[in-house]
Amino acid sequence: MVFHLAHVWHMKILLTAFLFLALVFQGMCQKQWTYQECAKYAQEHNIELNNSQLQVEQQRVFAKDAKNDLLPNISGFVGYGINQGRSVDPNTNTYVESEFFNNSYEISGSMNLFNGFRKQNRISFEKYNLSAEEEAYEARKNQLNYDVLEAYINYQVDKGLIEIIGEQKELSERELDRITKFIELGRAAGSEKYEVEARLANDEFLLIQQQNRANLSLLELKRLMNYPIDSSLVTEELRLFEGVDPNITLDSMFDQAKANLPRMKSLTNRLNAAEKQVKMAQATLYPSLDLYANYSTRYSDTFVEQNGDVISFNDQFKNNQSLNYGLGLAIPLFDAFSRRNQIQVTKIAREQAVNNYKTGLQNLEYEIYQVQLEWHAAISEYLSAVKREQSEETALEAATRRREKGLISVMEYYEARNNSAIAQAEILRTSLQTFLKERTVNFYLTGTLLD
């Protein structure tokens, strides 16, 4: 019986060890997502971004339709009819009472030769609108990339804080073991144990609280990616970017941003489209010249020969042929000033596009100035945090040695630990904040957040 229980106990230990190693191996082999991969996944699965892509495809159809409008219009017609009662005989153009059959064929075509270059301006108008929609799509994609990056960094901060708080909890556990032994040896008062236990309980509470925050920040990242909620997502640790010249000037940055940012390109294309829309409206004041042609023939059983036989289909098809063609000139004379009113509407729209472009430039200038300030501030804070962390780490080492010798109280020791933990948290926060600001500066220089 004793042997059987020991055997079962050993089997449980082996099974537990196996499961633990399997979980560790799974964690090591699980894919780690970079923020670029998270952003690309979001681009492929974000529904709102997909709708923006559909807007681009819709505008592409409009642009194609504008080009096709230069082609001639050709149509055909085939008629088959039976006339009963009183009707007009197509042979004599007189009324008859008898029933007869008739068949007609027609093909016609027309082509605009001149309409004040309205069609050509419409092609340019739709082309600029297409470019504007494409750049607007890129701008929305960049916004999504930024949101994903920001959520990714927030999760990295929360994960790092879990590690820092976890280390503080382990130190409290070791301190509790140490103080318990000292109390047993009569080298420490029992009240110190209560203080250590209170600190350990607080560390455990903070750890649970931080784990909950990390879960929420991970959930936000999954939401932006449209990633399955119940699926695991392991992120890769970020490193400082350090890919931007710290001496770049505001003017240089502004010029590059104006040339590279999709939203600025979109505003430029909207402005060009508005100019073409004015010319389209002005073209309605010009005469329109069209070329047209029409061919027709017919067959009817009322067409008979002298002997009373119906003329054959082939003969009627040849004999009844008709062709007419010519030029048509339409001259606008008066339409209650609707054309001129429409021109005024398009000119107002053009002024709005000009104002939108100017506003975009003003906002861009302020954004760049703010980004530069935040970038340099983040670098300064990070460098200061590094110095502080080094000082607090040295102070903690000294406090630990003094605590082991009983030269300082537990509260003084915990104060040194708190300061060290805060300094580590600041290193984590400022380093990732610097990464975000550097990526943002690079975005204004290149127009993308991922390269």
pLDDT tens for 149-208 read: 999 999 999 999 999 999 999 988 988 888 788 777 776 666 778 888 888 999 999 999
The residue with greater pLDDT, 433 or 304, is: 433
Please give the average per-residue pLDDT across 305-314, as a whole number.
85
Least confident of 98-107, 141-150, 284-293, 418-427: 98-107
Q: What is the pLDDT of residue 240?
A: 65
Q: What is the pLDDT of residue 6?
A: 43
Q: What is the pLDDT of residue 269?
A: 97
What do you get for the CA distance between the two ends of the chain, in Å?
A: 68
- Give the percent of the chain with pLDDT over 90: 63
Q: What is the pLDDT of residue 413?
A: 84
Least confident of 12-16, 248-252, 258-262, 353-357: 12-16
What is the DSSP secondary structure assignment for residue 336, as one 8-state letter?
A: T
Statement: residue 300 has pLDDT above 90: no
In sequence order, which residues have a C-beta less than 8 Å from that of residue 221 and are 6 or more positions away? 38, 148, 151, 152, 154, 155, 227, 233, 235
Q: At what angle do helices 262-283 and 250-260 cross, to 10 degrees?
A: 50
The most confident of the ranges 186-190, 240-244, 287-291 is 287-291
Q: What is the pLDDT of residue 68?
A: 95
**What SS3 string covers 46-77?**
CHHHHHHHHHHHHHHHHHHHHHHCCCCEEEEE
Least confident of 13-27, 47-61, 275-289: 13-27
Amino acid at 266: S
User: Does the domain at residues 75-113+287-331 carry the CATH identifier 2.20.200?
Assistant: yes
284 close to 116: Cβ distance less than 8 angstroms: yes
Amino acid at 235: T
**What is the band of 33 on the pLDDT scale with cuts at 50, 70, 90?**
very high
Q: What is the pLDDT of residue 243?
A: 63
Statement: residue 22 has pLDDT above 70: no
Q: What is the pLDDT of residue 44?
A: 94
Task: State which fold the 31-71+115-286+332-446 domain adopts.
Answer: Outer membrane efflux proteins (OEP) (1.20.1600)
Closest CA to 301 of 13, 7, 83, 11: 83
Q: What is the pLDDT of residue 275?
A: 97
Q: Where are the domains of the chain?
A: 31-71+115-286+332-446, 75-113+287-331
Statement: residue 361 has pLDDT above 60: yes
H or E, element range at 235: strand 234-235
**What is the band of 137 on the pLDDT scale with cuts at 50, 70, 90?**
very high
Q: What is the pLDDT of residue 241?
A: 57
Q: What is the pLDDT of residue 242?
A: 61
Take residue 263 and report the two structure tokens written for it.
Answer: 């939203």
Q: What is the pLDDT of residue 25?
A: 47
